[in-house]
Amino acid sequence: MLVTSLSSLKGGVGKTTVTLGLASAAFAQGLRTLVVDMDPQSDASTGMDVTIGRHLNISHLLANPRASQVRNAIVPSGWSRTYKGKVDVLLGSPAAMAFDEPTLTKKQIWRVEEILAAVENDYDIVLIDCPPSLNGLTRMAWTASDRVAIVTEPSLFSVAATQRAFRAIDELRRGVSPRLRPLGVVVNRVRPQSIEHQYRIDELKQMFGPLVMEPELPERVALQQAQGAASPLHVWPGESAEEMALNFNMILERIFLTVQVSKPESAQPAR
Ligand SMILES: Nc1ncnc2c1ncn2[C@@H]1O[C@H](COP(=O)(O)OP(=O)(O)O)[C@@H](O)[C@H]1O
Ligand SMILES: [Mg+2]
């Protein structure tokens, strides 16, 4: 089971969008996919067509990660109505905020790892949508992850913020979780005609070299439309949805390559 966190220090840069795009790519390829919504805003849960209500959610599991409770808390995404396959969600909740402490005990920091251990054999890929901070929730998510992708827009502050995030990943790797590595920087909402954006992307590449992931993700209304309809991107009609679906397939491919985990034989070729 390959576990990847999607993080950024800022809100609104596209963490949830990238989480949903990759989940859609994985689901379309027949991978058993779990999205863990660690963000108290719970946008990923909404985007995956699950009603946040009386269900058990991540906050219950952070308080008590008993294996039977973990299984009860995971719900199928409404996406599974579009085609056959397994795509599930561990719901987010505003109550998770109570766990977003600046410091964690040794026991607390392994909580998400403990939760995921209960479903280790049930999924091929787990995508964790993190809140926009480096506090407890993000650190618990990272400790349970093989890789962390930092999502950023091509803006004035992206280099500094990305550098801070990489430093935090490195600290956690050295202190707590030796398997943790940065996957790279996903540059999102790029306007290819914008000179400012090109300048910022060049700056990121100078700083982080091959860690800046290809392809960069352009700004496309189709993404917002698919999200608004709580639909997986890979079934959304139109050329720009198709273009974005291909982009997410490529990023997913790169995740499997860098972690050197082969996909299960049942996986279908990317559409
Ligand atoms: N590449 C993109 N093209 C168009 N809209 C985007 C793109 N990426 C994100 N958005 C939109 O920007 C808003 C913020 O993105 P979101 O993924 O929710 O950010 P975060 O999870 O980092 O807060 C959402 O309305 C989303 O639909
Ligand atoms: Mg979000």
109-158 per-position pLDDT tens digit: 999 999 999 999 999 999 999 999 999 999 999 999 999 999 999 999 98
Query: Counting atoms of ligand 1 from 1, which one is nearest the CA of 219?
Result: 3
Distance 80 CA to ligand 1 centre (A): 23
Instruction: Please tell me the predicted confidence (pLDDT) of residue 20.
Output: 98
Domain that holds residue 12: 2-259
Query: Considering its fold, how many domains does the chain have in total?
Result: 1
**Residue 229 within any structural domain of the chain:** yes
Residue 271 in domain: no
**Residue 238: inside a domain, yes or no?**
yes
Q: Let me know if residue 197 belongs to a domain.
A: yes
Tokens of 201: 């992307």
Angle between helices 158-175 and 195-208 (to 10 degrees): 30
| Domain assignment present for 237 | yes
Q: How far is CA 122 from the centre of its chain?
A: 18
Q: Judge whether 82 and 231 are in contact, CB under 8 Å.
A: yes
pLDDT of 256 > 80? The answer is: yes
DSSP state of 190: B
User: How much is the mean pLDDT over the chain?
Assistant: 94
- Residues with Cβ–ion distance below 5 A, ligand 2: 15-16, 43
Query: What is the number of other CB atoms lying within 10 angstroms of the CB of residue 177?
Result: 19
Centre of ligand 1 from the C-alpha of residue 218, in Å = 11
Pick the ligand that lies closest to the CA of residue 43.
Answer: 2
Q: pLDDT-based confidence at 61, cuts 50/70/90?
A: very high
End-to-end CA distance of the chain: 22
In a domain, 270, yes or no: no
Best of 17, 227, 243 for a ligand 1 pocket test (most atoms within 8 Å of beta carbon): 17
Residue 269 placed within a domain: no
The pLDDT, as a whole number, for residue 76 is 95
Residue 264 maps to a domain:
no
Residue 84 Cα to ligand 2 middle (Å) = 27
Distance 210 CA to ligand 2 centre (A): 25
CATH of residue 149: 3.40.50.300
Distance 224 CA to ligand 1 centre (A): 7
The residue whose CA is least distant from atom 14 of ligand 1 is 12
pTM: 0.96
How confident is the model over 4-27, as a mean pLDDT? 97
Instruction: Please state the atom number of ligand 1 nearest to the C-alpha of residue 18.
Output: 17
